[in-house]
A and B are shown apart, each in its own frame.
Chain A
Amino acid sequence: MSLDKATVARIAALARIRVVDDELDGLAQELSNILVWIEQLDAINTEDVPPMSQVADLKLLWREDEVTDGAIPEKVLANAPAAKDGFFTVPKVIE
């Protein structure tokens, strides 16, 4: 599928990536080329084929619901841009 500028702008907004207007054309072309290339999969018959989301046929393990970690607030906050009283202080992210 060939993407137009509006679609690229919409994807960028969904991905929270700023794309300036002059980049839109080039990006639309690049992404369209990649999409056209991956659309060769349309030729493969996948009727009755189950999707594969993991390779190892794993069953998730169960464990006791108990605390296994914690009491390390300094470590948790060590990379915080700012912290106060054991909390992250950040710009307002919830309306």
Chain B
Amino acid sequence: MVALTDLTIAEARDGLLAKEFSARELAEAHLTAMEAARGFNAYLKETPERALAGAEAADKRIATGDARALEGVPLAIKDLFCTDGVATTAASRILDGFTPHYESTVTQNLWDAGAVMLGKTNLDEFAMGSSNTTSYFGPVENPWRRDSDNLPLVPGGSSGGSAAAVAAHLCPGATGTDTGGSIRQPASFCGVVGLKPTYGRCSRYGIVAFASSLDQAGPITRTVRDSAILLRHMAGFDPRDSTSVECEVPDYGAALARPLKGLKVGIPKEYRVEGMDPEIDALWQKGIGWLKDAGMEAVDICLPHTSTALPVYYILAPAEASSNLARYDGVRFGHRAENDGELLDMYEATRSEGFGAEVRRRIMIGTYVLSAGYYDAYYLKAQKVRTLISRDFATAFESVDVILTPTAPGAAFAIGEKEDNPISMYLNDVFTVPASLAGLPGISVPAGMDGDGLPLGLQLIAPSFDEETMIAVAAAIEARADFDGSAAAQAGKGA
């Protein structure tokens, strides 16, 4: 018999309904695995009581035939989602001691569908990072290792704990959030599927805000089908988020079976960046071949403003962050530093102690680009170029149904690498940021290995609110890539 931790969400759901095992057994198997794999630092907090109570309630519902869509499915939650009665840290010291007394809409939707919480996962502080090394609670270790040097690697970020936990079979699925690539890039680094929906698809209510015009929640899972299943129960209109879009949530799982014959996949030449890793390029060409094999037609497209996306992002996201993070002042909740009793001293001592180096850097960049005299030159300029980036995609989608690119410019790197130069870290998001700025859905699918035994992902980008086409095409890549993630699962078992 396969281990319960090796089941996908779809398989776990079927097994629970067929009473092959109980939700309690399923939760216990994961809790045991989590305890044994604490060295990865993927979870910031394990919630065994909550998991077992939820599992027992699920077992009762299954016994009486009242099972809901995700009844008894155990999930990990990125510690950026507020969870009622469970401490929420955003991996920052500044939220020290904070326990929300309300639930984020996305997690509430999941619990309402019967899912069970295993714990809260590690992340880059306030989701600002591409390596999970900015967490106040220490880095997450990627369950994958390079063949050549066996050094501990980053899982990517910011949803690094979620991606590592899914890859190491410490949960079958997890929530993530994506502002510039924080679901897709760690998914690529850890050999799992990560889906960022259209901006507005999932409510942002109860998610600690980073850059509000970009933040979006989505699933991280081991299969495309599982991401489709989870997204259906995360998404939906929410009057408590004014940017949540009132439109029907389709059955994404049904989209998996869609015929692809005749669909057009766009290949943007601007993503073939200078000095591109030949292995990444080769994988991209393979992906094009797979989609042709699935009956699709490959079309060369132009996205002329691609190279401007990162600088635009590193103006807009810090600007929004500097404003969102102004609320952390040590007055009403969270960390308050020792101070001399003067108000300014309390603010400054609290914020320099409470925020890590990367968060302080971004707040300062954001403060600068919004400051008097510089607003037009930086912030307004970036907003205008954002329009051009968005128009590029709109034009491209007049002639293609979906766009295929690599997810990241390379595989996972060692913990500590790329730390001396912020810009080299920012470049990790070069392929994911453009879709974020345009608000478009994107998915990373594990598609192959580099020469050193590390996973690499391919990204699909679709028009707004057409996650269904994206999921259908992703499934075609998944089927042809035949990716083997068992090395990470073995690492998770300590083997």
- Interface, chain A (partner B; CB < 8 A): 3, 8, 11-12, 14-19, 27, 30-31, 33-35, 37-42, 44, 46, 49-56, 58, 60-61, 63, 72, 75-76, 78-81, 88, 90-93
Contact = CB atoms under 8 A, between A and B. Distances in A.
B360 interface: yes
B324 interface: no
Given A56-B243, A79-B334, A31 B365 contact: yes
A56 B212 CA distance: 13
Interface of B: 97-99, 101-102, 198-200, 213, 239, 242-243, 245-246, 305, 307-308, 311-312, 314-315, 322, 326, 329, 331-334, 336, 341, 343-344, 346-349, 351-352, 355, 360-361, 363-365, 367-368, 371, 378, 380-388, 390, 421-423, 437-439, 464
Given A16-B351, A60-B242, A93 B386 contact: no
* Chain A, interface SS category: loop
23 contacts: A11-B367, A12-B364, A16-B326, A31-B364, A40-B311, A41-B382, A41-B385, A42-B381, A44-B381, A44-B385, A50-B384, A51-B380, A52-B383, A52-B386, A52-B390, A54-B243, A55-B437, A56-B198, A79-B97, A79-B332, A79-B334, A90-B331, A91-B343
Given A51-B383, A55-B390, A93 B314 contact: no
Contacts, number: 153
A30 B361 contact: yes
A61 B239 contact: yes
A53 B383 contact: yes
A39 B421 CA distance: 17
A17 B341 contact: no
Ranked nearest first, the 3 interchain pairs of A and B with the lowest CB-CB distance are A55-B439, A51-B383, A79-B333
Contact of A11 (B243, B343, B344, B368): B368
A93 B99 contact: no
B316 to A, nearest CB: 9
A14 B319 CA distance: 13
A80 B412 CA distance: 41
Given A44-B308, A79-B99, A91-B341, A56 B200 contact: yes
A88 to B, nearest CB: 6
B365 A44 contact: no
